[in-house]
Amino acid sequence: MPISLSGRDFLRIADFSTPEIEYLLRLAHQFKALKLAGTPHRYLQGKNVVLLFQKTSTRTRCSFEVGAMDLGMGVTFLDPKSSQMGTKESIADTAHVLERFYDGIEFRGFAHADVEELARNASVPVWNGLTDLWHPTQMICDMMTLQEKFNGNIKGKKLVFMGDAKNNVARSLMVTCAKLGLDYVACGPEDCMPAQDVLDIARPIAEENGCTISLEQDPAKAVAGADVIYTDVWVSMGEPDSVWEHRVKELMPYQVNSELMAKAADDVLFLHCLPAYHDTKTKIGADIYKRFGISEQEVTDEVFKSRRSVVFDEAENRMHAIKAIMYATLK
């Protein structure tokens, strides 16, 4: 039977079968080819989408906006200051209002339960643009990027996540690797290890697909033979400022630097969802340097700018991937 995701929400990678994820990846590559060829693809002309952001964003917001416009759709962006949601109006009431205007709703927020509540109450597809627990649109783009770099063959590759291996991106990567047959290693200190709930989701899937999920606290051991090293910020959006001191101290040994990259496979790739603290040219980067004397955090400037780093291809692919997700669920 042909795959159809029409009318589905997109809240977690765990909600999708391997063939469904592969279908989204195929669509994302097709949309990229159309865009690069300059071929118009206004397949969803006449539809409209709304983007709700409770946290800041560059890539996700721009991907939804440009993706929607390329597909011929109208777009509305709402942030907490410019909408009633949460302060004067419940999530359920907001869903019932927005479903009357829009064909799809994107939500970036804090509690994952909020996007679930929105989806439960809205009759149109809801897309999770990041919550404290999951970042599923990032996953389609990450796997798409790896397919491009490894000539379509990602099954059996070893991906190591270095650093805060319990965060939304790391959790999503673990499940995604399990679904697509990549060996996944979470590498970080004890209290940054993935929570049991995500291990319980990912391990049976990995077993079914003949790949492995492992936890490792020694960075050198973790990256031996790694095809991909992935990292993310040490403190995620929504976490209190007070966690910085401890995080910096415990995660410094897990920084992705040239020495660590040299211990992986010769053609290892470096991925990062971005934004990244690889220098002091940001407000937070400069502040952390002032407070703790660290000018490069989860990744060094050298690795970030090296030829093994594919972070800007990855960032571009956010747009193609999100376009595929909107198209598949709205068509």
By annotation, the residues acting in catalysis are: 108, 135, 138, 232, 273, 318
DSSP type of residue 239: S
Q: Give yes or no for a contact between 320 and 35, defined as CB atoms under 8 angstroms apart.
A: yes
Interacting residues of 283 by C-beta distance below 8 A, sequence separation 6+: none
Query: For 300-303, which contacts have Cβ atoms below 8 Å and span 24 or more sequence positions?
Result: 300/255, 300/256, 300/257, 300/258, 302/257, 302/258, 303/256, 303/257, 303/258, 303/261, 303/270, 303/278
Minimal distance, residue 200 CB to ligand CP, in Å:
25
Instruction: Tell me: does residue 138 bind ligand CP (CB under 6 A).
Output: yes
Q: Which of 215, 237, 248, 284 binds ligand NVA (CB under 6 A)?
A: 237
By CB under 6 A, what part of segment 263-282 binds ligand NVA? 273
Which partner from the list ligand CP, ligand NVA, none does 99 bind, CB cut-off 5 to 8 Å by kind? none
Helix, strand, or coil (residue 200): helix
- Rounded CA gap, 245 and 281, in Å? 20
Which partner from the list ligand CP, ligand NVA, none does 58 bind, CB cut-off 5 to 8 Å by kind? ligand CP
Instruction: Tell me: does residue 59 bind ligand CP (CB under 6 A).
Output: yes
Minimal distance, residue 57 CB to ligand CP, in Å:
3
Minimal distance, residue 244 CB to ligand NVA, in Å:
13
- Rounded CA gap, 165 and 186, in Å? 6
Which partner from the list ligand CP, ligand NVA, none does 233 bind, CB cut-off 5 to 8 Å by kind? ligand NVA
User: What does the binding site for ligand CP look like in residue numbers (CB under 6 A)?
Assistant: 57-60, 130, 138, 273-274
User: What does the binding site for ligand NVA look like in residue numbers (CB under 6 A)?
Assistant: 130, 167-169, 232-233, 236-237, 273
